[in-house]
Structure 1
Amino acid sequence: MRLPAEWEKQKALLISYPHENSDWQPYLNEIREFYDEFINIVKKYQNLIILSPEPLNIKTSKSDFEVKIIKVKTNDTWVRDYGPISVEISKSDFELKDFTFNGWGLKYSANYDNLVNRRVFHTKKIGFVLEGGSIDSNGEGVLLTTSKCLLEENRNPHLSKEEIETKLKNFFGLKKVLWLNHGFLEGDDTDSHIDMLARFVAPNKIVYITCDDKDDIHYDELKKMEKELKRYGFDLIPLPFVSPKYFNNKRLPASYANFVIINSAVIVPTYNDTNDKEALKIFKKLFSNRDIIGLDSSTLIKEHGSIHCSCMNIF
């Protein structure tokens, strides 16, 4: 049993389309424009599965890949956290694991989202709360995660850290779980998902967000996170920090770590920021054999997530 790395060959990318009965309602047309652009990018590279509670008429460019639209009720679009997690059970044979989703520790409604996998993929529910954005794999038995999320009191309160780690190792065939006790982004209501902070880009390489402004609220925590990462012995590549972005007077969790890897490409969130070009340059160096595509995610972060949060890789 093995949890694949995101850079491995994928069957499809799963996306959940925004609808009027969600928090996107006030700027629905704006966010749908983002999703249409996202979909058109992905379908140049691989198959797409789109979930929607209503019929869709998406204008997409021609492609050799399939776009499959499935009608199913959802609460929201953040399918990274309620979509199925692909696990290799034998060579090139994958099983979709359906973990329990409870709205990021009972913060939001999740009644429809928690049923999506069963209704669409006919999976069997696992009685363990786990969100896809809270874990990251190097494909070789090492998992990166945060204690703030996995040990949060409304996820699996009956389990100790040791018991949770044992379950993760059993679910995914892991050798090691790397826990980060520091690091956060203001506006991220997932309790510090790892996919906003640090990600594997190769079996021995991790990219992570940094902050050089000593007056910024994130400075101390991200410095402590950096020290933790250095203890684990991986090659580390710092990503530039996004200058503060606000909506309705609240700071948003803008992060270049929330990129998504698809077949032959990497889609990197941009934010109309002075560091966008520098971030794209870093990814071009890291993934020289893939197309690097910047996608303006300024609308997406209004609801406190970014590109990686909005999709799930299916292997």
Structure 2
Amino acid sequence: MLIAEFEKQSFTQVVFPHEKMDWSCCIADARANFVNIINAIRQFQTCLVVCYNINEVQNYFEDHTNIKFVEYTANDTWARDTSALSIYKDGEIKLLNFIFNAWGGKFNSELDNRMSKILAPYYSCEMEDIDFILEGGGVESNGEGLILTTSECMLNPNRNSKFNKEQITQKLKEYFGAKEILYVNNGYLAGDDTDSHIDTLARFISKDTIMYVACDDENDEHYEALKKMEDELKEFVIEHKLKLIKLPMSSAVYDDNERLPATYANFLFVNNGVLVPTYNVKEDAEALEIFRWAMPDREVVGVECATLIRQHGSLHCVTMNFASEISIN
């Protein structure tokens, strides 16, 4: 069973940016943003920082409480898609290491694809290599057998072209111990490189509740697609007795006339808390209030992520949670 992200965790993994990544255009801003993210995480739990140079990266922090460092040079910082996923299988915790091909071969990914295998000795549980292309941001679990994904990503021929939908569905059920795979056929964000990862659009916040992004502005380019996605989610609600909570669409954020994929669905669960990306726009306050209302038992912390979306990702994209039973060796 793919462990739900709202369940108890041991630590969060982050890959710190270096100058040979695409972040070279704004490396100082990127590092400052990652420091803020790591500092927010370690208020709740340990953060494992994968970094190109431990001695250098340690200097970005006044103290190292709840931070552990491991040295590895990756292609990029998208830990959600390059890290192993935590599952329960046969009564034990296990990590699954899928193939990462940079969202269908869009970028160099050799080092990212090797990362989990190299880091395997640092994790306290068994890791299994899976001959299947999949990114963590492409799947959402309610922890009780429902997997939420998008057909645009999961069924895209730039991933696993030798398999049809039925075969992919069966493989997902086997890998994740799932009862059903719920495919969302609509919804997207301008500027997104992932072919519509589900973690930019709709997320489980409990076993029976989905939080999703909606667009109420008929003049926004996302209006029609997100309305169709909302209608699909409502069908899931009826069929599986789920509940829906609507998040606002962020005001458009641009970089060199390109709209960036700012989304409040890219939040991060931590123990007793939830970190919510903000973008210095008017909807930030509304989004934070919705999270506080929806999750009164968690501390809600806004983390400014305007720099992250300049490279087409956000808070959830640059982090990976590990199950509570997994420790760092």
**Could you state the TM-score of these two structures normalised by the residue count of structure 2?**
0.92
Q: Does 1:60 align with 2:80?
A: no
Q: What's the CA shift string for 1:197-244, capped at 9, x where partnerless? A: 000111111111111111111111001000100001221111011011
Give, in whole Å, the separation in 1 of the partners of 2:310 and 2:37: 17
Per-residue CA distance 1:34-55 (angstroms, 9 max, x = gap): 1111111111111111111223
Contact 2:41 2:47 survives alignment (8 Å)? yes
Q: Distance in 1 between matches of 2:296 and 2:130?
A: 38
Question: Residues of 2 paired with 1:130 and 1:271: CA distance?
Answer: 28
Quick check: 1:182 aligned with 2:186?
yes
Partner of 1:97: 96
Letter paired with 2:84: P
Q: Partner amino acid for 1:85?
A: L
Matches within 5 A, 1:291-306: 291-306=299-314
Q: Deviations over 1:93-125 (max 9, x none)?
A: 311100000010010110000000100015442
Counterpart position of 1:242: 250
- TM alignment of 1:271-282, pairs within 5 A: 271-282=279-290
Confirm or deny that 1:86 pairs with 2:90: no
Describe how 1:148-167 pairs up with structure 2 within 5 A. Answer: 148-167=152-171
Contact (CA 8 Å) 2:276, 2:302: kept in 1 or not? yes
Moved more, 122-131 or 38-47: 122-131
Return the letter of the residue paired with 1:81: D
User: Which of 136, 143, 154 pairs up with 2:140?
Assistant: 136
Q: Indicate the residue corresponding to 2:19 in structure 1.
A: 20
Q: Distance in 2 between matches of 1:107 and 1:97?
A: 23
* Cα distance in 2 between the residues matched to 1:72 and 1:63: 19
Partner of 2:294: 286
Secondary structure of the residue aligned to 1:232 is helix
For residues 118-142 of structure 1, give each alpha carbon's deviation from its aligned partner in whole angstroms, at most 9, with x where no partner exists: 0001544211000000000001110
**Deviation sequence 1:139-180 (CA, Å, 0-9, x none):** 111000000001111100000111001000000100111000
What is the identity, as a one-letter code, of the residue corresponding to 1:60? F
Question: Contact (CA 8 Å) 1:12, 1:49: kept in 2 or not?
Answer: yes
CA distance in structure 1 between the partners assigned to 2:12 and 2:19 by the alignment: 23
Q: Is the aligned partner of 1:227 residue 2:231?
A: yes
- Length, aligned pairs only: 312
Paired with 2:243 and 2:298, the residues of 1 have a C-alpha distance of 20
User: Corresponding residue for 1:269?
Assistant: 277
Contact kept in structure 2, 1:84 and 1:96, CA below 8 Å: yes
Q: Any idea what the Cα deviations from partners look like across 1:248-298, whole Å, max 9, x if unmatched?
A: 111000000000001111000001111111100110111111110001100
Which AA in structure 1 matches 2:76? D
Q: Distance in 2 between matches of 1:62 and 1:18?
A: 19
Quick one: which amino acid aligns to residue 100 of structure 1? I
TM-score, length of structure 1 as denominator length = 0.97
- In the alignment, which residue of structure 1 is the partner of 2:44? 45
CA distance in 2, matches of 1:28, 1:187: 20
Unaligned runs of 5+ in 2: 122-126, 324-329
Letter in 2 for 1:135: V
Q: Segments of 4+ in structure 1 off by > 6 A? A: none
Identity across the alignment (%) = 43
What one-letter code is carried by the residue in structure 2 that aligns with 1:185? L
Letter matched to residue 229 of structure 1 = L
Equivalent residue of 1:24, what SS?
helix
SS in 2 for 1:208: strand
Partners of 1:118 and 1:124 within 8 A in 2: no
Shift of 1:310: 0.4
Distance 1:176 1:61, change over 3 A: farther
* Alignment check: 8 A CA contact 2:150 2:198 kept: yes
Consecutive unaligned residues of structure 1, counting only runs of 5 or more, are: none
CA contact (8 A) 1:36 1:58 kept: no
The answer to which structure has the higher helix fraction is: 2
